[in-house]
């Protein structure tokens, strides 16, 4: 459906890549495995859906290699909803990314939730018209992903656990270091760039603006409306919810409640109201009991 | 007097920054009480399906619709334009909108994200310099009614270059753009809207 009239206009610029992320701010992006779940997500007010083979809790439970979703499922999801469709590719798996680009998805998540395909290299994301989102646990990781062309950063958290503690750690680390960078003098910024293993130009830009050059969303472990309110108050600009919706007792009601709590994150009365009578949230896991830490994938 | 920005979802901060640059006092609008005493309101870019649902659940839909029908000046960009239009093709059947500008809109009419683009647009009344415009999964105006002033257009699709498509439209106190003027530093369209909010008070 590409409009040939636009051939003369530049597409895939960093402005339009980052611009779509800006439009998702204040919203909830929901993990879905098929068209049916995608409909439930859109009906509940999702700003976008994320197609993946299995939700993280199932990847954790069943093990095995987690890969890009079946193209037929992605096509089905695209046909089922009008909101943007994102899809996950393995870290470094540029051929999966090429397939997702060919399928016309709106955003690619180069994701640690899937089994990494390359232990040394992330995808060169500048080579694509389609924008990418990547996870990060700290500011250096976020800036390395941005230097590779990511137009949106999310915390990694610890996906599939229903435990918010890791996402909070990552957000506090990224946002705390941004605050400290803004207080550094021009000579200290070179020290920051060295310590963060990040390009000096991006460090200087953050010192100037006080924020990442792309939006920062939260992912990994959000299971309740109060979790969404927490991370939005900490400074996340939108939330990704994976297992927290379709592993809860009433996915439709949970999805709707998290959408409202994200939009009205500072309104405790409203978060209380939407949290009432939701039924069972997903069963969670203590981080100390985990065999695999997904957040440690990528560098 | 204050200009509001609907703050339920979307790129609220950029609109607020544009209005603040022009010296306006800006109020985020999240609930019905926030509407009182506004001189004008911006509906930002975002996802129109999500905004429609949150307008309903927050109790804003009815009082805001009433304020718009009474002539509250409003500026809608992209999703905001969809919410203000009379007719929307390819939308969800349950999607609510205000219907205060006589346009027929096709959601995501230029295609998916890979077709999102930037270009210069000449806007009537903003001087000779074109405006740099960022179109993101943008809606297409398929038809505009006789009461609508079309202030800027793009050439039509391949094979029908003369079938130009409106990208900036005004009908009385309602201003809409298919693109995102808030994403560039050019404040002329926001300035144009601020002037509209002063006119409508007279």
Residue-wise pLDDT for A238-273, tens only, equals: 999 989 999 999 999 999 999 999 999 999 999 999
SS3 B196: helix
pLDDT surpasses 50 at A206: yes
pLDDT surpasses 90 at B43: yes
- ipTM surpasses 0.85: yes
pLDDT surpasses 50 at B105: yes
pLDDT surpasses 90 at A284: no
Q: Which helix (H) or strand (E) holds A38?
A: helix A35-43
Q: Which of A5, A11, A20 sits opposite B158 (nearest CB)?
A: A5
Q: What is the pLDDT of residue A6?
A: 46
Nearest to A161 by CA among A74, A220, A231: A220
Could you tell me the two tokens for A278?
């939701």
pLDDT surpasses 80 at B198: yes
Higher per-residue pLDDT: B1 or A279: A279
The confidence band for A299, taking pLDDT boundaries of 50, 70 and 90, is confident
pLDDT surpasses 60 at A204: yes
Q: What is the pLDDT of residue A157?
A: 95
Strands (E), chain A: 28-32, 48-51, 85-90, 107-111, 132-136, 152-155, 216-217, 239-241
Backbone phi, then psi, for A179, in 5-degree steps?
A: -60, -40
Task: Give the C-alpha distances (Å, rounded to integers) separating A5 from A189, B121, B163.
Answer: 45, 14, 11
Q: Give the number of residues written for chain A.
A: 299
pLDDT surpasses 90 at B66: yes
Cross-chain residue pair A84–B137, CB shorter than 8 Å: yes
The 10s digit of each residue's pLDDT in A32-47 is: 999 999 999 999 999 9
Nearest to A73 by CA among A55, A62, A87, A59: A87
Hey, is the C-beta of A83 within 8 angstroms of any chain B C-beta? yes
Whether residue B136 contacts residue B115, with contact meaning beta carbons closer than 8 Å, is answered with no
The confidence band for A1, taking pLDDT boundaries of 50, 70 and 90, is very low
pLDDT surpasses 70 at A16: yes
* Distance between CA atoms of residues B191 and B196, nearest Å: 9
Please give the tally of structural domains in chain B.
1
pLDDT surpasses 60 at A23: yes
Give the residue from chain B lying closest to A19, CA to CA.
B136
Q: What is the pLDDT of residue A202?
A: 98
The 10s digit of each residue's pLDDT in A143-198 is: 999 999 999 999 999 999 999 999 999 999 999 999 999 999 999 999 999 999 99
Segments forming the whole domain that contains residue B125: 2-201
Cβ contacts of A267 on chain B, cutoff 8 Å: 30
Q: How far is A21 from chain B (nearest CA, A)?
A: 9
The 10s digit of each residue's pLDDT in B20-39 is: 999 999 999 999 999 999 99
Cross-chain residue pair B161–A5, CB shorter than 8 Å: yes
SS3 A25: coil
What value does the mean pLDDT take over residues B145-159? 93
Across chain A, what does the average pLDDT equal?
95
Q: Which of B8, B90, B107 sits opposite A26 (nearest CB)?
A: B8
CATH of the domain at B90: 3.40.50.880
Q: Which of residues 35-54 of A touch B (CB under 8 A)?
A: 42, 44-48
**Which residues have CB under 8 Å from B167's CB, separation 6+?**
B121, B133, B135, B141, B152, B153, B154, B177, B178, B179
**Mutation test of the interface with chain B: which of A1, A14, A26, A274, choosing the one with the most B Cβ atoms within 10 A?**
A26
SS3 B142: strand
The 10s digit of each residue's pLDDT in A106-148 is: 999 999 999 999 999 999 999 999 999 999 999 999 999 999 9
pLDDT surpasses 70 at A7: no
Q: Which of A15, A27, A107 sits opposite B50 (nearest CB)?
A: A27
Cross-chain residue pair A23–B136, CB shorter than 8 Å: yes
Q: Which own/partner pairs from A179-188 qualify as long-range (CB within 8 Å, at least 24 positions apart)?
A: A179/A210, A181/A139, A181/A206, A181/A207, A182/A206, A182/A207, A182/A210
SS3 B89: strand
Cβ contacts of A11 on chain B, cutoff 8 Å: 114-117
């Amino acid at each position: 459906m590409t409009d040939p009239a636009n051939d003369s206009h530049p597409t895939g610029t960093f402005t339009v890549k980052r611009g779509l992320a800006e439009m998702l701010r204040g919203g909830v992006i929901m993990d879905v495995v098929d068209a049916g779940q995608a409909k439930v997500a859109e009906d509940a007010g999702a700003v976008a859906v994320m197609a993946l083979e299995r939700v993280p809790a199932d990847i954790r439970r069943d093990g095995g290699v987690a890969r890009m979703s079946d193209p037929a499922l992605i096509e089905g999801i695209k046909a089922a909803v009008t909101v943007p469709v994102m899809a996950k590719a393995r870290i470094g798996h540029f051929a999966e990314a090429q397939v997702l680009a060919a399928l016309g998805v709106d955003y690619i998540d180069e994701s640690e939730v899937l089994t990494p395909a390359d232990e040394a290299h992330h995808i060169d994301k500048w080579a694509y018209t389609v924008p990418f989102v990547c996870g990060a646990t700290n500011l250096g990781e976020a800036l390395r992903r941005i230097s590779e062309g990511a137009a949106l950063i999310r915390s990694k958290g610890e996906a599939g656990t229903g435990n918010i503690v890791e996402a909070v750690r990552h957000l506090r680390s990224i946002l705390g270091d941004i605050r400290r960078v803004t207080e550094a003098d021009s000579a200290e910024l070179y020290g920051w760039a060295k310590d963060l293993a990040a390009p000096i130009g991006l460090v200087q830009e953050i010192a100037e603006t006080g924020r990442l050059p792309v939006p920062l969303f939260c992912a990994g472990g959000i299971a309740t409306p109060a979790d969404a309110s927490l991370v939005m108050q900490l400074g996340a600009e939108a939330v990704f919810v994976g297992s927290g919706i379709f592993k809860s007792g009433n996915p439709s009601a949970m999805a709707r409640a998290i959408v409202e709590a994200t939009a009205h994150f500072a309104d405790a009365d409203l978060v209380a109201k939407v949290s009432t009578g939701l039924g069972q949230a997903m069963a969670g896991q203590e981080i100390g009991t985990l065999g695999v830490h997904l957040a440690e994938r990528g560098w | 007097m204050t200009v509001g920005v609907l703050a339920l979802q979307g790129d609220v901060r950029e609109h607020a920054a544009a209005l603040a640059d022009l010296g306006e006092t800006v109020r985020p609008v999240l609930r019905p009480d926030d509407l009182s005493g506004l001189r004008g309101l911006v509906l930002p870019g975002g996802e129109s399906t999500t905004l429609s649902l949150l307008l309903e659940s927050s109790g804003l839909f009815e009082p805001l619709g009433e304020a718009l029908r009474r002539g509250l000046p409003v500026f809608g960009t992209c999703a905001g334009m969809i919410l203000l239009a009379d007719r929307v093709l390819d939308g969800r059947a349950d999607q609510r909108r205000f219907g205060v500008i006589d346009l027929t809109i096709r959601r995501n009419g230029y295609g998916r994200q890979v077709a999102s683009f930037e270009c210069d647009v000449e806007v009537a009344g903003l001087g000779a310099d074109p405006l740099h415009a960022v179109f993101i999964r943008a809606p297409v105006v398929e038809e505009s009614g006789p009461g609508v002033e079309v202030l800027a257009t793009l050439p039509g699709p391949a094979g029908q270059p003369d079938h130009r498509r409106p990208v900036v439209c005004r009908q009385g106190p309602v201003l809409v753009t298919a693109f995102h003027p808030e994403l560039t530093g050019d404040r002329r369209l926001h300035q144009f809207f601020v002037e509209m909010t002063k006119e409508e008070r007279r």
